[in-house]
Amino acid sequence: MKIAVLPGDGIGTEIVAEAVKVLDVLELKFEMESALVGGAAYEAHGHPLPEATLKLAKESDAVLFGAVGDWKYDKLDRPLRPEQAILGLRKNLGLFANFRPAICYEQLVDASSLKPELIAGLDILIIRELTGDIYFGQPRGRRTAVDGHFPGAEEAFDTMRYSRPEVERIARVAFEAARKRSKRVTSVDKANVLETFQFWKDIVTEVGKEYPDVELDHMYVDNAAMQLVKAPKKFDVVVTGNMFGDILSDEAAMLTGSIGMLPSASLNSSNQGLYEPSHGSAPDIAGKGVANPLATILSAAMMLRFSLNQPEAADRIESAVKDVLASGLRTGDIWSEGTKRVGTREMGDAVVAAITKKTITG
């Protein structure tokens, strides 16, 4: 098994180093190879996703990704901006299913802006379709309106579209994921207004018949946005399209209070995946040794579970993270009165120590 390690920019290098340290201590049999991506790759090779990096990603079973971007690249032509590396990897690896768990750790209940009773024990999984929808539909552009409310005026337009195979495959991913959890799927749409999402709803319902053991319900996206803050624990697996998923997964992430805790995975049909924290490269704290590495360490756990078929090793990491939080260690983003503030490296070391201790004591 091979892992491509792509730390990227800003805090990416600091947090990925901690995840690699945690993977190393597990003593599993896999090879790790690093390459430049994002702004770092642009500086060295003139492109955010150089051929060699893409080749490494393609021939690996999984990609462990840090983060890319910095404000200083905002003036570059769009194809050369660091963020294009993520889009390039998604496209070239055919990553169509984005998994964003939102878990509220007992010790971090106060970090949420919601009342503790609404959030304690929260464990939901948002599955977002990544390759279709209005983000990629053609045609799109600007033109002079020939009809509508203001004929003759300048207008812009995008196209929302989904094909049957695209909806079928993401629906299957959601039902399969639900089978490993509490067997409930909520499909989020806007079928009352959009043809594309009536089609989506019909197909998810059809696919659902292949999974009689999984309970399926449907919810309009506006209601889902409300329910996520009103009663988030009602949800288990949520599956939705690219645009609604983009918004709802950030909303769900914020329920837990800290972006530094949230892993994510993007998978293709052969379970090859890209694993990254949900946050960005945090240029404001880069190089200071204060970033929270736990989202990246938890992304490595997801990688072991989904792409490398090592569920026990994934459990060990997740349980070590819980132990470290229970011991009161916190990076600045999750720090509160009465806990001990530590830096990126100390947090990584603490997770390694928790894994080693469990190994020794059995």
Task: DSSP letter for 58, please.
Answer: H
Which of 196, 281, 299, 310 is in the footprint of ligand NAD by CB under 6 A? 281
Q: Is 70 a catalytic residue?
A: no
H helix runs in 238-289, sequence order: 242-255
Nearer Cβ to ligand NAD (260/263): 260
Nearer Cβ to ligand NAD (12/241): 12
Interface with ligand NAD, residue 56, by CB under 6 A: no
CA dihedral 23, 25, 28, 31 (to 10 degrees): 60
The continuous run of DSSP H or E covering 329 comes out as: strand 329-330
Q: Is 275 a catalytic residue?
A: no
Interface with ligand NAD, residue 83, by CB under 6 A: yes
CA dihedral 102, 106, 109, 112 (to 10 degrees): -10
Interface with ligand NAD, residue 68, by CB under 6 A: yes
Nearer Cβ to ligand NAD (196/344): 344
Stretch that binds ligand NAD, among 52-60, 136-144, 216-224, 278-286 (CB under 6 A): 278-286
Nearer Cβ to ligand NAD (69/241): 69
Interface with ligand NAD, residue 283, by CB under 6 A: yes
Which of 27, 117, 284, 337 is in the footprint of ligand NAD by CB under 6 A? 284
Can you spell out the DSSP letters for 148-169?
SSSTTSEEEE------HHHHHH
Interface with ligand NAD, residue 18, by CB under 6 A: no
Please answer whether residues 313 and 13 qualify as being in contact, where contact means their C-beta atoms are separated by less than 8 angstroms.
Answer: no
Number of residues binding to ligand NAD, judged by CB under 6 A: 22
Closest distance of CB 190 from ligand NAD, Å: 25
Interface with ligand NAD, residue 57, by CB under 6 A: no
Q: Which of 62, 4, 16 is nearest to 293 (CA)?
A: 16
Interface with ligand NAD, residue 232, by CB under 6 A: no
Closest distance of CB 276 from ligand NAD, Å: 6
Given 123, 158, 202, 250, the catalytic residue: 250
Residues 301-340 that bind ligand NAD (CB under 6 A): 331, 333
Interface with ligand NAD, residue 190, by CB under 6 A: no
List the structure tokens of 134. Answer: 């209005």
Please answer whether residues 155 and 148 qualify as being in contact, where contact means their C-beta atoms are separated by less than 8 angstroms.
Answer: yes
Which of 292, 299, 307, 310 is in the footprint of ligand NAD by CB under 6 A? 292
Q: Which of 215, 243, 228, 204 is nearest to 98 (CA)?
A: 243
Nearer Cβ to ligand NAD (202/246): 246
- Which residues contact residue 3 at a Cβ distance below 8 angstroms, ignoring those fewer than 6 apart? 23, 30, 31, 32, 33, 60, 61, 62, 63, 64, 303, 308
Which of 262, 291, 325, 350 is in the footprint of ligand NAD by CB under 6 A? 291
Q: Which of 341, 343, 300 is nearest to 66 (CA)?
A: 300
Please provide the distance, in angstroms rounded to a whole number, between the alpha carbons at the two ends of the chain: 26
Q: Is 315 a catalytic residue?
A: no
The continuous run of DSSP H or E covering 128 comes out as: strand 123-129
Stretch that binds ligand NAD, among 62-70, 89-97, 194-202, 218-226 (CB under 6 A): 62-70
Nearer Cβ to ligand NAD (285/354): 285
Q: How far apart are CA 170 and CA 128, in angstroms?
A: 8
Residues annotated as part of the active site: 135, 190, 222, 246, 250
Contact footprint for ligand NAD (CB under 6 A): 11, 67-70, 83, 86, 259-260, 276, 279-285, 291-292, 295, 331, 333
